[in-house]
Amino acid sequence: MGWLFSSRTRSELIHDLIQPEDNARASVRVVAHTLRGNVLWSVVEVTAKAEGVHKHLAPGESVRYIRCDLLQRSGGQWGYKDLDESVHPFYYTCPLRYLEMAKEVSSPEWRERVRAYHAQRRTPAAPAASLTA
């Protein structure tokens, strides 16, 4: 999917992206979200009301997935590009706890890179070598 831009402010855009949606086919709600720079990470829960909403999801059943909304400003407008874990977004700042909140979709390599990103951040930097003259 491409980028969608509008005259909303960044705050208004984020507010809209995390709002629940309810229609005849499904209910969708964001159960957790966080902002890392211009990447909005969310855990989204979809509850089917009809057949065909999601693979192997019967009406009344729910599934959670990790969504990655890229945010960008262009020409005075804010826009977003929505991705999810299944497309292996090349962003790894997703909170670790989100991995436990959503079932693995089809991208174990992406999840491993998220874990590696956080492990690297927890590793203390090597002390600078002392200079002796």
Look at residue 64 in the predicted model and tell me its pLDDT: 95
**pLDDT, average across residues 108-121:** 95
Q: Give the percent of the chain with pLDDT over 90.
A: 79
What's the chain's average pLDDT? 91
- What does the alpha-carbon distance between residue 48 and residue 76 come to, in Å, rounded to a whole number? 37
pLDDT in tens, 4-44: 999 999 999 999 999 999 999 999 999 999 999 999 999 99
Going by pLDDT thresholds of 50, 70 and 90, the confidence category of residue 125 is: low
Look at residue 128 in the predicted model and tell me its pLDDT: 53
**Domain range annotation of the chain:** 4-122
Look at residue 133 in the predicted model and tell me its pLDDT: 46
- From first CA to last CA, the distance across the chain in angstroms is 59
Contact 118, 93 (CB under 8 A): no
Residue predicted with more confidence, 54 or 81:
81
